[in-house]
């Protein structure tokens, strides 16, 4: 087995085991509430009968996965630095409402209009997250506390803005929204691409924002793994004291990382906003920030892992509706998601210890002439994945996963 | 008299009373390091037995073994003549051994009484029996003259009182043998006197005290017998009544010098580092580095000797820009760098071998080639512009591994997999590769095996010959004397003596370090 395959295998082992364990536990739970687990799983993987239904299901999964992916990235960037940004929820809600208002307020030619919305969202998200960073650096406030508190403020502020100054829906309407973003500010769907590929046209449009998400994912991957800044960031996450001694300005890094994390968080609401909703309202998708934490954990804070995790979560979310049609409580999905996250936390820690032990054995057998000579001739595994500490989202060797 | 290298002599007592604690041939290995080797320790019942040795000599490892925090790889532990095997501190406590840690483990917002009973609360019908607890604590306090106030909040207590609470905690658990780990490190002289009075009380009541320290004068005041540890093994025992501090120091640091004595001075005239009146204060505005003025010239090794905790770590921080100065300035090659960040200073040619390589020198969970980049994030071959040059970093890591004899499977190995010596060789190689002007080396051979130690010494000598200025901080007096061109002694944040390493003996140096000798006696 080549080194690459071995490392891939080791880094996948944890999450795959976790998903399997979660499925077993969920099956037991489904059986306990008096439903047939096999039937439930069958319903969940059934994408539909006709080709157009199947394509539609896949589009629904992808459309859900795009914001989840962005949310996971936002959390993961902070994770890799050892920061726990719980405030992604508030950051994207603030960003989305202000971006929606800005998009509705102006009229610009197509691409520029979209760009303006994106920039406003990223700036608002970054500023909201930046508050957390500045508080931590100047006053020593834990980012966990301040970001949770800012979530409440953001939700309250968004409600106020929606019902007050930014209200666009007519008085008395059942759903309160901002004004609609005009055609020029919307991102066209990728359905043309699907039909060009010979697939049946789905009922709803595949978000064009998918492309933006992929680009953001690649940029983040390059930033973290290939740049000096990313090295400083990861070094700080691995060992703040060693990073400081190496010349990293820890305080500056905290603020910069929070700004990046918040900037990405600002994008989370845009796929829905620019792809299907065109306004921010009381019914706008909520909870993506918190799901992002789960997705980042499951994806071990690496862009590729997060993409896979987002797809898995989106796939499970899609199953909620068919489950209800089959008279099975859709909260089964939430139970599976919850158990996956719990199992992944445990599996990651186990995988980390296993990798550490094999690394230590390798090191012991590599150096002859020392007292702690290797007790067996174990072949030295070439840099096994060090697993991931949940606290820091520490990297193993994820760069090879993307390669 | 000091009976070096024959531990058995010191305890030739003919009586048949079993020893309170006896360690036979204790060996404890950690990956790549032998922390303790063939330790022999005999502690009689009812005595204060001091275990002395330099920092890093293996005292703490030994005491952890005795307290059940880890198990020895070889050897026997006997308590009251019976062999025991401790799996955890709970076993040690059950056998009557208690430990008073150097850093107090007390809950500040609890009362003295609550802290003492915490973890072994007396209960009556399932409820906390405060009356019983109070009775027992008062009893202990009276019997050993500890003067405890059971209802005082710990946060209101001074350091000495807190220590007495720690001692009471141990006594409350019926310990017959107390281990005190560097108990005087945190005390002012008056508190030390009180502590010693308390120890006398304990002794009078028939308890046994094992007293860990490196302060020779204190040890001679309080101990009934002394065991000396050097480089992980017991090198002798001594009777404090007949042994001088000088003889003890000799035992502690060893007499032999490491390197060939032929030394040609490579010191040039050009200064690389100048520190002028540098003062660093701690959080409480107490100066930890006090008005230090120091010059390091090209090709010069300036050794800083001193008992640990006398400001050496803060001095290193000041040079590296890791800690703001309260006063004074730092000049690098004549240029004032006081306001420079750590990164700019490193770019300006300062290499750094930190005291604690795991905390400051390495990313343990990262591969070796990423560790090659650490501290050199802005310079080739590891970096090209804003991007990391992975190929360059890997290739240069392979070169360092070859040239500096770092034994590891390859550049992709995780740093944690390497032994301490190999990690240190990687760090030395990394810092040397950047061709620094100044190298700050803090305990460069601490915790590394003998082979790696010799390699690192050679590397430092070669670099010095090429004109590198080195600040060497070490607890190993042989290392300091063997490598330094100039030797300063640091005591309570001040440079108190400048010595000529060619003439000074380890015991003289030890005397200066403990403050037993004054500057007047210096060369």
* The predicted structure's pLDDT at residue A6: 62
Q: In Å, how far are A96, A360, A364, B450 from A368, measured between CA atoms?
A: 60, 14, 8, 14
In a domain, A370, yes or no: no
Give the CATH number of the domain where residue B375 resides.
3.40.50.300
Phi, psi of B500 (to 5 degrees): -95, 115
Q: B486 has which bridge partners?
A: B302
- pLDDT of B415 > 80? The answer is yes
Residues 6+ apart with CB under 8 A from B38: B25, B26, B27, B75, B233, B234
In a domain, A320, yes or no: yes
Helices (H), B112-229: 112-117, 130-143, 159-172, 189-204, 216-222
Is B320 within 8 Å of A241 when comparing Cβ atoms? no
In a domain, B262, yes or no: no
Mutate to test the interface with B, among A229, A383, A385, A395 (most CBs of B within 10 A): A383
Among the partner residues A239, A244, A396, nearest to B363 by beta-carbon distance: A239
In a domain, B263, yes or no: no
Which A residues in the span 172-191 are in contact with B, Cβ-Cβ below 8 Å? Answer: none
Report how far residue B422's alpha carbon sits from residue B404's, in angstroms, rounded to the nearest whole number.
9
Is A238 within 8 Å of B365 when comparing Cβ atoms? yes
* Residue B230, domain extent: 2-96+176-253
* The predicted structure's pLDDT at residue B450: 62
In a domain, B181, yes or no: yes
Structure tokens at A30: 């489904």
Q: Give the total number of structural domains in chain B.
A: 3
Among the partner residues B341, B364, B451, nearest to A247 by beta-carbon distance: B341
Sign of torsion over alpha carbons B168, B169, B175, B178: negative
CA distance B451 to chain A (A): 9
Among the partner residues A242, A356, A369, nearest to B360 by beta-carbon distance: A242
- A309-360: per-residue pLDDT in tens? 999 999 999 988 888 888 888 888 888 888 888 888 888 788 777 777 766 6
Phi-psi region of B126 (alpha: psi -120 to 50; beta: other; left: phi over 0): left
Phi-psi region of B97 (alpha: psi -120 to 50; beta: other; left: phi over 0): beta
Q: In Å, how far are A403, B383, B412 from B366, measured between CA atoms?
A: 18, 17, 9
Report how far residue B253's alpha carbon sits from residue B248's, in angstroms, rounded to the nearest whole number.
9
Percentage of the residues of chain A whose pLDDT score is greater than 70: 86
In a domain, B317, yes or no: yes
Which domain-ending residue is among B224, B253, B282?
B253
Residues A253, A81 contacting (CB under 8 angstroms): yes
Which B residues in the span 302-341 are in contact with A, Cβ-Cβ below 8 Å? Answer: 320, 322, 341
**A235 contacts on B by Cβ (under 8 Å):** 363, 366, 370, 374
Report how far residue A189's alpha carbon sits from residue A209's, in angstroms, rounded to the nearest whole number.
8
Query: Scanning the structure block, which residue is given the tokens 């968080």?
Result: A265
Question: Is there a single domain that holds both residue B342 and residue B406?
Answer: yes
Candidates B84, B83, B89; CA nearest to B70 is: B89
* The predicted structure's pLDDT at residue A124: 97
In a domain, B264, yes or no: no
A372 touches chain B (CB under 8 A): yes
Is A246 within 8 Å of B346 when comparing Cβ atoms? yes
Report how far residue A264's alpha carbon sits from residue A122's, in angstroms, rounded to the nearest whole number.
6
Question: Is there a single domain that holds both residue B430 and residue B366?
Answer: yes
Question: Is there a single domain that holds both residue B309 and residue B352?
Answer: yes
In a domain, A315, yes or no: yes
* The predicted structure's pLDDT at residue A307: 95
- A137-153: per-residue pLDDT in tens? 999 899 999 999 999 99
Is A247 within 8 Å of B377 when comparing Cβ atoms? yes
CA distance A315 to chain B (A): 33
* The predicted structure's pLDDT at residue B282: 81
Residues 6+ apart with CB under 8 A from B297: B267, B268, B269, B270, B271, B272, B469
In a domain, B43, yes or no: yes
Is B386 within 8 Å of A239 when comparing Cβ atoms? no
Q: What is the pTM of this model?
A: 0.72
In a domain, B266, yes or no: no
Which domain-ending residue is among B210, B226, B253?
B253
* Residue A226, domain extent: 3-365+375-402
- pLDDT of A70 > 60? The answer is yes
Is A238 within 8 Å of B366 when comparing Cβ atoms? yes
- A253-285: per-residue pLDDT in tens? 999 999 999 999 999 999 999 988 888 988 888
Give the CATH number of the domain where residue A356 resides.
1.10.3470
The gap between the terminal CA atoms of chain A, to the nearest Å, is 17
Question: Is there a single domain that holds both residue B185 and residue B157?
Answer: no
Candidates B379, B387, B463, B54; CA nearest to B233 is: B54
B486-491, strands of its sheet edge to edge: B350-353, B438-442, B469-473, B301-305, B486-491, B494-499
CA distance B414 to chain A (A): 6
B283 touches chain A (CB under 8 A): no
- B271-297: per-residue pLDDT in tens? 999 999 999 988 777 888 999 999 999
* The predicted structure's pLDDT at residue A390: 32
In a domain, B292, yes or no: yes
Q: Give the total number of structural domains in chain A.
A: 1
In a domain, A85, yes or no: yes
Residues 6+ apart with CB under 8 A from B280: B287, B288, B289, B311, B314, B315, B317, B318, B323, B324, B325, B326
Phi, psi of B93 (to 5 degrees): -65, -40
3-state SS class at A343:
helix
Question: Is there a single domain that holds both residue B378 and residue B483?
Answer: yes
Report how far residue B293's alpha carbon sits from residue B279's, in angstroms, rounded to the nearest whole number.
9
In a domain, A203, yes or no: yes
Mean pLDDT of chain B: 83
Question: Is there a single domain that holds both residue B310 and residue B182?
Answer: no
Question: Is there a single domain that holds both residue B213 and residue B78?
Answer: yes
Question: Is there a single domain that holds both residue B52 and residue B142?
Answer: no
* The predicted structure's pLDDT at residue B449: 64
CA distance A379 to chain B (A): 10
Residues 6+ apart with CB under 8 A from A7: A382, A383, A384, A385, A396, A397, A400
Most confident of A39-43, A79-83, A191-195, B381-385: A79-83
In a domain, A228, yes or no: yes
Relative to beta strand B127-128, strand B123-124 is antiparallel
Which domain-ending residue is among B223, B253, B283?
B253
Most confident of A202-211, B3-12, B22-31: A202-211
Among the partner residues B365, B407, B419, nearest to A386 by beta-carbon distance: B365
Question: Is there a single domain that holds both residue B196 and residue B154?
Answer: no
Residues 6+ apart with CB under 8 A from A14: A300, A344, A347, A348, A350, A351, A387, A388
Question: Is there a single domain that holds both residue B183 and residue B62?
Answer: yes
């Amino acid at each position: 087995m080549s080194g690459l395959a071995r490392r891939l295998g080791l880094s996948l082992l944890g999450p795959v085991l976790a998903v399997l364990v979660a499925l077993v536990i969920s099956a037991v739970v489904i059986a306990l509430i008096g439903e047939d687990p096999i039937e439930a799983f069958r319903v969940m993987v059934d994408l539909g009968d006709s080709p157009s239904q199947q394509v539609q299901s896949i589009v629904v999964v992808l459309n859900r996965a795009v914001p989840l992916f962005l949310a996971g990235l936002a959390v993961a960037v902070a994770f890799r630095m050892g920061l726990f940004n719980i405030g992604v929820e508030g950051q994207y809600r603030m960003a989305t409402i202000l971006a929606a208002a800005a998009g509705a307020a102006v009229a610009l030619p197509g691409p520029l209009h979209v760009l303006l919305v994106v920039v406003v969202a990223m700036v608002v998200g970054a500023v909201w997250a930046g508050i957390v960073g500045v508080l931590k650096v100047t006053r020593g406030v834990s980012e966990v506390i301040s970001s949770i508190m800012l979530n409440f403020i953001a939700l309250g502020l968004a409600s106020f803005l929606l019902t007050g100054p930014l209200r666009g829906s007519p008085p008395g309407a059942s759903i309160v929204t901002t004004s609609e973003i005009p055609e020029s500010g919307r991102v066209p769907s990728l359905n043309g691409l699907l039909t060009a590929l010979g697939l049946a046209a789905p009922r709803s449009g595949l978000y064009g924002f998918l492309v933006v998400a992929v680009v953001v994912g690649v940029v983040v991957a390059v930033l973290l793994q290939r740049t000096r800044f990313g090295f400083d960031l990861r070094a700080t996450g691995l060992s703040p004291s060693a990073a400081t001694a190496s010349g990293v300005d820890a305080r500056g890094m905290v603020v910069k990382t929070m700004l990046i994390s918040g900037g990405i968080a600002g994008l989370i609401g845009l796929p829905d906003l620019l792809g299907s909703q065109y306004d921010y309202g009381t019914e706008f998708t909520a909870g993506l920030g918190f799901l992002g934490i789960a997705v980042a954990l499951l994806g071990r804070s690496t862009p590729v892992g997060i993409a896979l995790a987002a797809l898995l979560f989106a796939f499970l979310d899609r199953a909620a509706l068919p489950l209800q049609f089959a008279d099975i409580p859709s909260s089964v999905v939430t139970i599976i998601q919850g158990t996956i996250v719990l199992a992944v936390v445990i599996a990651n820690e186990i995988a980390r210890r296993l990798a550490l032990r094999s690394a230590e054995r390798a090191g012991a057998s590599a150096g002859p002439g020392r007292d702690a000579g290797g007790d067996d001739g174990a072949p030295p595994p070439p840099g096994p994945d060090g697993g991931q500490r949940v606290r820091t989202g520490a990297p193993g060797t994820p760069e090879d996963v993307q390669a | 008299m000091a009976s070096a290298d024959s531990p058995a002599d010191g305890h030739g007592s003919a009586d048949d009373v079993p020893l309170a604690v006896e360690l036979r041939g204790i060996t404890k290995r950690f990956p790549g390091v032998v922390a303790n080797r063939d330790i022999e320790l005999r502690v009689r019942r009812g005595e204060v037995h001091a275990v002395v040795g330099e920092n890093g000599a293996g005292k703490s490892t030994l005491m952890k073994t005795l307290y059940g925090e880890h198990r020895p790889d070889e050897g026997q532990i006997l308590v009251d003549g019976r062999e025991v095997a401790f799996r955890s501190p709970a076993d040690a406590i059950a056998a009557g051994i208690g430990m008073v840690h150097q850093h107090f483990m007390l809950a500040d917002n609890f009362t003295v009484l609550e802290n003492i009973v915490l973890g072994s609360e007396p209960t009556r019908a399932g409820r906390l029996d405060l009356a019983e607890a109070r009775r027992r604590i008062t009893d202990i306090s009276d019997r050993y003259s500890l003067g405890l106030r059971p209802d005082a909040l710990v946060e209101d207590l001074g350091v000495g009182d807190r220590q007495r609470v720690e001692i009471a905690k141990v006594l409350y658990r019926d310990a017959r043998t107390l281990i005190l780990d560097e108990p005087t490190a945190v005390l002012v002289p008056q508190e030390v006197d009180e502590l010693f009075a308390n120890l006398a009380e304990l002794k009078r009541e028939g308890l046994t005290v094992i007293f860990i320290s490196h302060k020779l004068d204190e040890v001679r005041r309080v101990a009934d017998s002394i065991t000396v540890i050097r480089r992980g093994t017991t090198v002798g025992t001594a009777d404090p009544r007949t042994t001088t501090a000088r003889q003890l120091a000799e035992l502690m640091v060893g007499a032999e010098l490491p390197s060939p004595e032929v030394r040609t001075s490579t010191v040039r005239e050009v200064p690389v580092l100048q520190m002028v009146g540098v003062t660093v204060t701690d959080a409480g505005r107490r100066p930890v580095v006090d008005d230090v003025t120091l010059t390091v010239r090209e090709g010069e090794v300036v050794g800083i000797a001193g008992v640990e905790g006398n400001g050496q770590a803060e001095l290193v921080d000041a040079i590296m820009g890791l800690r703001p100065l309260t006063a004074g300035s730092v000049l690098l090659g004549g240029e004032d760098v006081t306001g420079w960040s750590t990164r700019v200073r490193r770019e300006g040619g300062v290499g750094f071998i930190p005291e604690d390589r795991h905390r400051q020198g390495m990313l343990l969970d990262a591969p070796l080639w990423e560790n090659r980049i650490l501290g050199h994030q802005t310079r080739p071959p590891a970096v090209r512009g804003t991007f990391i040059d992975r190929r360059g970093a890997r290739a240069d890591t392979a070169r360092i591994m070859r040239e500096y004899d770092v034994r590891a499977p390859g550049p992709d190995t995780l740093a944690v997999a390497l032994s301490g010596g190999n990690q240190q060789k990687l760090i030395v190689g990394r810092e040397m590769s950047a061709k620094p002007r100044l190298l700050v080396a803090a305990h460069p051979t601490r915790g590394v095996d003998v082979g790696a130690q010799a390699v690192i010494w050679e590397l430092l000598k070669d670099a010095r010959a090429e004109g590198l200025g080195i600040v060497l901080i070490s607890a190993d007096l042989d290392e300091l004397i063997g490598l330094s061109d100039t030797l300063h002694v640091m005591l309570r944040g001040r440079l108190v003596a400048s010595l000529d390493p060619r003439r000074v003996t380890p015991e003289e140096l030890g005397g200066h370090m403990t403050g037993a000798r004054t500057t007047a006696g210096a060369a």
